[in-house]
Amino acid sequence: MSTHRSPWMTEDLDALRELARSFCEKEIAPHQARWRNQQHIDREVWTKAGALGLLCLSVPEEYGGGGGTYAHEAVLLEEQGRVGDTAWGIGVHSVVVAHYLLAYGTEDQKQRWLPLMATGAAVGAIAMTEPGAGSDLQGIRTRAVRDGAEYVVDGAKTFITNATHADFVIVVARTDPDAGSRGISLILVETDRAGFRRGRILDKIGQRGQDASELFFDGVRVPAANLLGGVEGRGFGHLMGQLPKERLTIAVTAAVAIETALDLTVLYTKDRSAFGQRVFDFQHSRFTLAEAATEARIVRCFVDDCLLRLLRGELDGATAAMAKWWTTERAMHIIDRCLQLHGGYGYMAEYPISHLWVDQRVQQIYGGTNQIMKEIISRSL
């Protein structure tokens, strides 16, 4: 319902928004309940999006992408969020994996994978988190040992988005166990290789349509050419270089979740009656919504500023951490109060507010916990 127009929007992005909104309304929104039950999306979503040019929007045209900027990706992420979807791992595919390849991959790696990702013929995933290593990436135990012209990969990963359909995974692994953060590298592992195994889809309390899974690497042999960028020991630096954009992506989705919850709650409270009047007409309801609308605008302005900084190449790690921490905290606070205004119906799965509430909780955890974000911010002071 907000009339706010982000300063980074253009006529080109307006046209993209119309296309993205149509796609999300037709191909994403109707399947939410079924996807939650099956715990993953349908494979054809990727190829349908690819046929419309909605994949890898910020990848150069020479690699099959849309030739746009992060703003193009943000528009699609916003429209996905407005239909309440958290199942489609488009952010991981187009914003994260594609840009690891684009920023650090060899020319052969980029030519091989990016055009396939842009059409949806190949789905990408990235495997950082392990059963014993989450926000502390230096605790990675997965190994990639050089053996002649190959690497042998052993280890286990968990919470991996797009695991069900991934055709390749960028694996964070130790290539030198004695070198600390300088012993971490990124290895491309195709999922049809012997020794690779997909584990169970994890039974989450929220984002149940998204296929976060366990992955296992039991002596998986890959060519040495699958080392991302062709140089060992740069993986930790690569991760640090991409994390600000990933954390901004979380902030973008948090902003949309707040705005969507607010819109749903205004409509609900104007339609629902109690004690002879609309729920909206109680002063408590109006004041709660007034506070939420104000915070939603502040969140949006902060996210807009961060996005403009990113487009100018000026978004630093501390500011991205601020955005990730603050927007996800405010989102949980606001959505909780919006659910309260729905009364008992807010707790019913048939109402979208219930899914917004439970899906939002993990945003304070992934991408680095909010406590880690505060640590990053404090180091900049």
Residue 246 designated active-site: yes
Q: Identify the burial level of 150 via C-beta atoms within 10 angstroms of its C-beta, where 0-12 means exposed, 13-18 middle and 19 or more buried.
A: middle
**SS3 of the chain:** CCCCCCCCCCHHHHHHHHHHHHHHHHHHHHHHHHHHHHCCCCCHHHHHHHHCCCCCCCCCHHHCCCCCCHHHHHHHHHHHHHCCCCCCCHHHHHHHHHHHHHHHCCHHHHHHHHHHHHHCCCCEEEECCECCECCCHHHCCCEEEEECCEEEEEEEEEEECCCCCCCEEEEEEECCCCCHHHHEEEEEEECCCCCEEEEEECCCCCCCCCCCEEEEEEEEEEEHHHEHHHCCCCHHHHHHHHHHHHHHHHHHHHHHHHHHHHHHHHHHHHHCEECCEEHHHCHHHHHHHHHHHHHHHHHHHHHHHHHHHHHCCCCCHHHHHHHHHHHHHHHHHHHHHHHHHCHHHHHCCCCHHHHHHHHHHHHHCCCCCHHHHHHHHHHCC
Given 79, 232, 246, 295, the catalytic residue:
246
Alpha-carbon gap, residue 49 to 139, rounded angstroms: 36
**Which residues have C-beta within 8 Å of that of residue 375, sequence separation ≥ 6?**
none
Catalytic residue ranges = 246
